[in-house]
Structure 1
Amino acid sequence: MENKKAIELVDKIVQDLDATGINTDTLIDDLKKLRSFALEEEIPLVVKVLRFTYEHIEENDSFLIPIPDDEPIDEEDVSDSESKVDPIESLKYLVSLTKSLKNRTNISDLREYRDALMAY
């Protein structure tokens, strides 16, 4: 995102996750604020992913979506990868993706998060 306050908020969210983990009270409010910046900048993918993210956290009290893999997943590996979800690392990665939307890999990973959140 281009907005300096949005980038500062991304940094704050990542620092808070490092410090206190998934604290739903502040985290959900911060994600909603970050989503409003994405609305202002008219970035529909980020708007949708952030909404799905805070709704997922509200429902589950955690973030249960794994970091997207670079490699295609074999059917046998699915159960292994699902059991190794690190909610904080995955959420930090998702939030940090929103800082640089000119990077094609970031856009691709955001789409994968969107699809995974919709399928959950």
Structure 2
Amino acid sequence: MENIKAQKLLNKIQRDLMRNGIITNTLTEDLKDLRVLVVEEGNPLLAKVIRLTFEHIESYNDFNIAIPDEEPIEDEEEGEIAVENEDIRGQESLDYLLSLMADPKNKVNEIELRDYVAAFNTYAAEN
């Protein structure tokens, strides 16, 4: 995110989330304002993620999307595959998503933002 206003607003959103948790009205209004700035910047993926985020929060009054699964890690002792961040939702997942938004041009962040888009679509289809 290159726009200074957008960066400041994103930082405000993250601070408010950490202090107050998910306050639906404030959070959705701030995300809508952020989306306007991102659209002006010309980042369609980020604009879509932000729109899906505030629509999800408005619809469900919470953030029910889990942090995308990382690559499976094989446990040397058990020989099993474990995913460490399985089913982390709510405030923690939203904070992680916001941190990805700060640098959407990073390839790993871009992949995870796309994973969030897929998760939003899957959640909406199932609920």
Q: Same fold, TM exceeding 0.5?
A: yes
Q: Which runs of 5+ in 1 are unaligned?
A: none
- 1:95 is the counterpart of 2:98: yes
RMSD over equivalenced CA pairs, Å: 1.9
Distance 1:42 1:35 in 2: 10
Answer 1 or 2: which has greater helix percent: 1
Structure 2-normalised TM-score? 0.83
- 1:65 is the counterpart of 2:96: no
Matches within 5 A, 1:100-119: 100-119=103-122
8 Å CA contact retained: 2:46, 2:104: no
Q: How many aligned positions are there?
A: 114
Computing the radius of gyration from Cα coordinates, the structure with the larger value is: 2
Q: Residue type of the partner of 1:94?
A: L
Deviates more, 1:63-72 or 1:52-61: 63-72
* 4+ runs deviating over 3 angstroms: none
Give the structure 1 partner of residue 29 of structure 2: 29
Q: Deviations over 1:56-102 (max 9, x none)?
A: 10111100001112125xxxx89xx34xx331111111112111122
Distance 2:116 2:104 in 1: 14
Q: Which runs of 5+ in 2 are unaligned?
A: 73-81
- Percent of residue pairs bearing the same amino acid type: 49
Structure 1-normalised TM-score? 0.87
